[in-house]
Amino acid sequence: MTITLTRATLVPELVVADLAASLDFWVGLIGFRIAYDRPEDGFAYLDLDGAQIMLDEYNPAGRHWLTGPMDPPLGRGVNLQVEVAAVEPILGRLEQTGWPLFMAVEDAWYRAGTIEVGQRQFLVQDPDGYLLRLGAKLGERPVAAR
């Protein structure tokens, strides 16, 4: 089977402890799809409407580009922002399974030049501790007077 995929120009590759558990989270709960995978290598390339991520299961004997020890939680200091059409379906799936949120849903407005860009957002950690900020656009408005 051939998958048509326009590859993003920046695609993070996350080293994960258990690919199956990560796929349950990224695909089953967040809503990504597997664009292609290599199960024999513990690898999957995921896509969600153009947001793309690679998952690579850690194998001490395998080839990984690691800059330090693999101490959990992984990904400290990084949060991956993923734009989605709506956060509510994802929040529902997370709640249904009892998956904890890192930060509850909020409406946030960020200054970008002469406008503010709004998004409904929340944060959640994947099984390895990687932090995801999922957000849906709320629109734009003039910068509020301070």
What pLDDT, on the 0 to 100 scale, is given for residue 141? 95
Tell if the pTM clears 0.95, that is, is over it: no
What pLDDT, on the 0 to 100 scale, is given for residue 144? 77
Q: pLDDT under 50 in the chain at which residues?
A: 1
Write down all domains in the chain, each with its CATH number in brackets. 13-60+73-142 (3.10.180.10)
Q: Decide: 88 and 144 in contact? Cβ < 8 Å.
A: no
Distances (CA, A) of 119 to 29, 79, 84, 86: 20, 16, 10, 10
- Biggest distance spanned by C-alpha atoms of the chain: 57
What pLDDT, on the 0 to 100 scale, is given for residue 69? 85
Alpha-carbon distance 57 to 113, whole Å? 40
β-bridge pairing 43-48 and 13-16: unpaired
pLDDT, tens only, 45-74: 999 999 999 999 998 888 878 878 888 888
Alpha-carbon distance 14 to 55, whole Å? 5
What pLDDT, on the 0 to 100 scale, is given for residue 145? 64
Q: Position of tokens 């409407």?
A: 49
What pLDDT, on the 0 to 100 scale, is given for residue 5? 86
CA terminus-to-terminus distance, the chain: 56
Q: Decide: 28 and 61 in contact? Cβ < 8 Å.
A: no
